[in-house]
Amino acid sequence: MKSVYFDSAATTRVRSEVISVMQDVLENQYGNPSSTHAFGRASKSIIETTRKAIAKELNASPQEIIFTSGGTEADNMILRCAVRDANVTTIITSPIEHHAVLHTVEELRNEYDVVIEYVKLQECGTPDYQDLERLLKANNERKLVSLMHVNNEVGNILDIAKVSLLCKTNNALFHSDTVQSIGHFKWDVQETPIDFMTAAAHKFHGPKGIGFAFIRKNNSLKPFISGGSQERGFRAGTESVHNIKGLETAFVLAYQNLEEERSYVEEIKDYFKTEIKKAIPEIKFNGNCSDNSKSTYTLLNICLPMSAEKALTLQFQLDLKGIACSKGSACQSGSGKGSHVLEQILCEEDKQKPSVRFSFCKYNTKEEIDYAISVLKEFVEK
């Protein structure tokens, strides 16, 4: 049986270079970074070198990078601290954000009586920028906008420059879940006046359990986790040094090889798009995923022409054939619920059909795509 992995939007295969440096740290750099002896100073140096490497690539200051356990913690940290410490009374978001944002803003509504506004969506699922401007101008309440840069299910790209400018013009804070875009797109936080960003290493061939938040300096946010003085006192707890080193290696390699790997992955995506349309002409592409100028080059979300009854066994059949992909966001797996993103953007007829997300990386090949399409074609035509 073949075994092919098309679920890199859920998590990526870890680069061999990352594994190597992490093993070296585990074996040789085991000092507590808060200790003042040589072992501790060596570990602390790893952390600060990583912080500087990230800041340099984003054109940020090292003090603006806070290490976290990943994107979910970073999103929670920023949203909660903004309400608690920055006098935010209204949060503007969209109904197709990651649940790390959607569930958190609902909790903040219940805990702090924060007003939650949901921006209207265009037919494809992209936020309606005119409606966003309307919401921003509606009153003089202190507002925070939380809109993801790249949607994790359909790949739509937010016009981050436009949203940043709207927020700045209307004196609102701007947070973006950039988990699906950090490591895949260039960033310059000096050109784009964004206040908060989040990242997770396992989305760009690094380890799970480590990420970071970009929190622009001169903000009023206070410590999120109390205890020691780690992470400039903002997030207490002994740092995971081997994971931080893995994050640095994956991050640096992602940007060193960005143009070459982007070109290759984009070619893989385009090949998949062309060949599956030939094999199954009735197929539809959800959101903007078929347009590389409006969606990430790393994924396709397709709607298959088959009945709901037949679709019940689709995921099982793909898995049986060794094909790893996703019916929706991986964070929903096991929940038994459909995709909240597709629920918002598909017509009633297409909601009854199965949609599958295929996401790509540097390790995928055209031969794997040919195999996956042949399996899909056979199943559709049964």
C-alpha 10 chain-centroid distance: 9
Q: Which amino acid is at 10?
A: A
Task: Assess contact for 104 and 84: CB atoms under 8 A.
Answer: no
Task: Assess contact for 223 and 233: CB atoms under 8 A.
Answer: yes
The Cα–Cα gap between 99 and 339 comes to 11
> What angle do helix axes 38-58 and 241-256 make, rounded to 10 degrees?
30
Q: Any residues with CB less than 8 A from the CB of 348 and at least 6 apart, and which?
A: none
Q: Which amino acid is at 279?
A: A
Catalytic residues, by residue number, are: 331
The torsion angles phi and psi of 3, rounded to 5 degrees, stand at: -140, 110
The residue to which tokens 């349309």 are assigned: 277
Angstrom CA distances, 201 to 70, 147, 183, 325, 356, stand at 7, 20, 9, 20, 24
DSSP-assigned letter for residue 107:
H
Nearest partner of 298 among 150, 124, 160, judged by Cα: 150
Please count the other Cβ atoms lying within 10 Å of the Cβ belonging to residue 259: 10
DSSP-assigned letter for residue 31:
S
The Cα–Cα gap between 55 and 51 comes to 6
Task: Assess contact for 154 and 301: CB atoms under 8 A.
Answer: yes
Helix, strand and coil in the chain, % to nearest 5: 45, 15, 40
Angstrom CA distances, 64 to 61, 107, 197, 266, stand at 5, 26, 10, 32
